[in-house]
Amino acid sequence: MLKVELIAHTPEPEKVVAAAAKLCYSNAQISDLMAGLTPEKSRAFVQHLASLGHESPTEHVSFTFAIEGVSRTLLAQITRHRLASYSVQSQRYVRLDQFEYVLPPEVENDPAAREAFESEMRQQDENYKRIAALLKEGHIRRLMKEEGLSEEDAAKKAEKMAIEDARYVLPNACTTKMIVTMNARSLQNFFRLRCCNRAQWEIHQLADEMLRLVYPVAPALFDKAGPACVRGGCSEGSMTCGKISEVRAHYQDLKKEAL
């Protein structure tokens, strides 16, 4: 099951963005840059920046999320957002006996498809354990013979070597955990692409949860966050979902509930 926590962020993010913008547009000295920037003035400044389309000051604040219960399929998608930092649980060092997996809603709702899917997951789990055991046994024999290691030391070294190769049989549905850090500008781009109805369902769900967490921290900064149609027209052209009104209402409600 998807779980997302906002574990860290730049303190007073709207004030930091306002200070960066203030430096751009005035002859303010560094010593008094933060002076007079009340929460109200900072939010007004941030809103004015958004109306101008001036986004670079928002790069000075960042948000860090702890994420678990997502698939390796999602991992392949989220890491395409390159202006971010990722730390991902390693399948080279972490053994995944009885691995957890993501069950797509369409599969879950089709009894025959679900039965086939879950059967395949059980089989993949058995294959992973069997391959890891066979490889470990072979590595232990070789390490004891060629490197003169004790059986105990050989077993410790062989474990990592075995699961490093056995992981190749694991499915895309296999869950993973990660820490993700993005600055506000990259996060806005992430929301614009992944909150869209045309985004794949799992990363769409993740993007909604991340937006739900950051909005109370910086409501002016993320006032227009969401898919492109929240702040303007649909960016998908002929591939639009055709549900702009519903999408806008959804993100209005999400932000109200988040406060």
Which residue numbers are catalytic?
A: 194
- Cross-strand pairs, 176: 70
Place of tokens 């992944």: 194
Site of tokens 């709702």:
109
**DSSP string for residues in 203-250:** HHHHHHHHHHHHTTT-TTTTTT-SSHHHHSS-SSGGG--S-HHHHHHH
Q: Are 196 and 226 in contact (CB under 8 A)?
A: no
Q: Reading across the β-sheet that carries 62-71, which strands appear in turn?
A: 3-9, 62-71, 175-183, 84-88
List the beta bridge partners of residue 87. Answer: 179
Q: Residue 108 contacts by C-beta under 8 Å, 6 or more apart in sequence?
A: 114
Question: What are the residues whose beta carbons fall under 8 Å from the beta carbon of 6, sequence distance 6 or more?
Answer: 63, 64, 65, 210, 213, 214, 217
Strands 3-9 and 84-88: unpaired
Q: E strands along the chain, which residues?
A: 3-9, 62-71, 84-88, 175-183
